């Protein structure tokens, strides 16, 4: 499978105008190799050039990993003296012909490549240009195959089971941090990979009006809405879900906005169809909230792609006319946030199929009372 993925990338490179791409540790490198490399003070870079064996520059202590690659790579190992590293990168670039006459175009991942790795690659091929290769690389991982969807489905189940267990522990007086800690423990107990896709968002009352709040020492109080945004990872693929709870009895308006968001979530999910633009999903969810009079309190896009990363293509926003295709996976997560009061968000994970969309998550979306 990884060999096929490499072939797909090199085929795209031939028509992209790029002579090569470079990858450092991250989702794309794992996608192409099946191996985990860590971002650290020692650079690791994979050079990929069409019709040549890939070249891997890495510290000598990690050379045993080369034998684990699913295809042949040329390895250039280096020692602990950083003053020698530029020469190793120069040798790697020369081996691939990236220092020959003519200005080579070596594509990079702007969101992933660090200045550390870039400086060494630049020193090895100083005359090259380094354009953005996002389109080539994002397209590579955009449509998930059955194995990937199965892993995401498993990540959703782990996350849902973990929260269902954690709900039993929710009570008035517990702090957001305590609840977040319990949820993390349950995620691992239920089978999540050691590296979670993100730290859970557990926000109550006024804190729930911040879509990206971090858990605090605030204690859950009767009358709060409680937003829990969490996810698990399985075999490198992630889930990203949100549910909103009522802590004890809450005001009627908070029940009302929860119902509106629930309906917006359903409308967004129903609008997800192959051949239609991403914008349609955003329009459908947003229209429900706007028609209810709360449009100005829905302050973010309706969703984002998921897979090996928590945020990747396709992005579900009103100006994105990219057409949905089978295998694309993304979130639908409308929300209403009343400043200084309470907020609601309900988020599910979908994958486009040949004739519609499958919702991977099925945890109840109705308001549930805890505490």
pTM for the model stands at: 0.93
Task: Give residue 1's pLDDT.
Answer: 78
| CATH 3.40.350.10 boundaries in the chain | 2-141
- Which residues lie across from 358 on neighbouring strands? 351
Distance CA 340, CA 223 (A): 14
Asked if omega into 326 is within 30° of 0 (cis), the reply is: no
Distance CA 222, CA 254 (A): 13
Distance CA 320, CA 283 (A): 11
Residues 6+ apart with CB under 8 A from 293: none
Task: Give residue 8's pLDDT.
Answer: 93
| The CATH number of domain 2-141, selected from 3.40.350.10, 3.30.420.40, 3.50.50.60, 3.40.630.30 | 3.40.350.10
| CA 159-200-228 angle, 5° bins | 75
Task: Give residue 238's pLDDT.
Answer: 98
Fold that domain 143-370 belongs to in CATH: Creatine Amidinohydrolase (3.90.230)
3-state SS, residue 128: coil
Q: Which residue positions in the chain have pLDDT lower than 50?
A: none
Contact 240, 197 (CB under 8 A): yes
- For residue 228, CA distances in Å to 52, 172, 336 come to 48, 15, 14
Per 3-state DSSP, the chain is made up of helix, strand and coil in percentages (nearest 5) of 40, 20, 40
Q: DSSP code of 246?
A: E
| CATH 3.90.230.10 boundaries in the chain | 143-370
Task: Give residue 101's pLDDT.
Answer: 72
> Residue 318, Cβ neighbours under 10 Å: how many?
15
H or E element, residue 201? strand 201-204
């Amino acid at each position: 499978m990884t060999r096929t993925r490499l072939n797909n990338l090199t085929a795209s490179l031939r028509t992209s105008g790029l002579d090569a791409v470079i990858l450092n540790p991250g989702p794309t490198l794992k996608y192409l190799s099946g191996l985990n490399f860590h971002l650290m003070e020692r650079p690791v870079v994979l050079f990929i050039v069409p019709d040549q064996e890939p070249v891997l520059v890495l510290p000598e202590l990690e050379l045993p990993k080369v034998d684990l690659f699913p295809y042949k790579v040329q390895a250039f190992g280096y020692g602990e003296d950083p003053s020698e590293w530029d020469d190793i990168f120069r040798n790697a670039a020369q081996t691939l012909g990236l220092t020959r006459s003519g200005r080579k175009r070596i594509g990079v991942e702007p969101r992933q490549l660090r200045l550390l790795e870039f400086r060494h690659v630049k020193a090895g091929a100083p005359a090259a240009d380094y354009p953005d290769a996002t389109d080539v690389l994002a397209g590579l991982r955009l449509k998930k195959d059955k194995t990937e969807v199965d892993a995401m489905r498993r990540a959703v189940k782990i996350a849902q089971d973990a929260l269902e267990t954690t709900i039993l522990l929710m009570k008035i007086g517990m702090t957001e941090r305590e609840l977040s800690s319990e949820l993390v423990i349950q995620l691992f107990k239920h089978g999540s990979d050691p590296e979670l896709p993100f730290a859970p968002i557990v926000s109550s009352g006024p804190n729930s009006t911040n879509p990206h709040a971090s858990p605090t020492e605030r204690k859950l109080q009767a009358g709060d809405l409680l937003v829990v945004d969490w996810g698990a990872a399985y075999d490198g693929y992630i889930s990203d879900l949100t549910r909103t709870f009522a802590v004890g009895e809450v005001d009627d308006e908070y029940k009302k906005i929860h119902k509106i968001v629930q309906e917006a979530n359903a409308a967004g999910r129903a609008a997800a169809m192959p051949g239609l633009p991403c914008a349609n999903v955003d329009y459908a969810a947003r229209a429900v909230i706007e028609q209810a009079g709360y449009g100005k309190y829905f302050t973010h896009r309706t969703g984002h792609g998921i897979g090996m990363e928590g945020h990747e293509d396709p992005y579900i926003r009103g100006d994105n006319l990219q057409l949905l295709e089978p295998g694309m996976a993304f979130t639908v997560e409308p929300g209403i946030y009343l400043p200084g009061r309470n907020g609601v968000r309900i988020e599910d994970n979908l994958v486009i199929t040949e004739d519609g969309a499958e919702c991977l998550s099925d945890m109840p979306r109705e308001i549930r009372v805890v505490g």
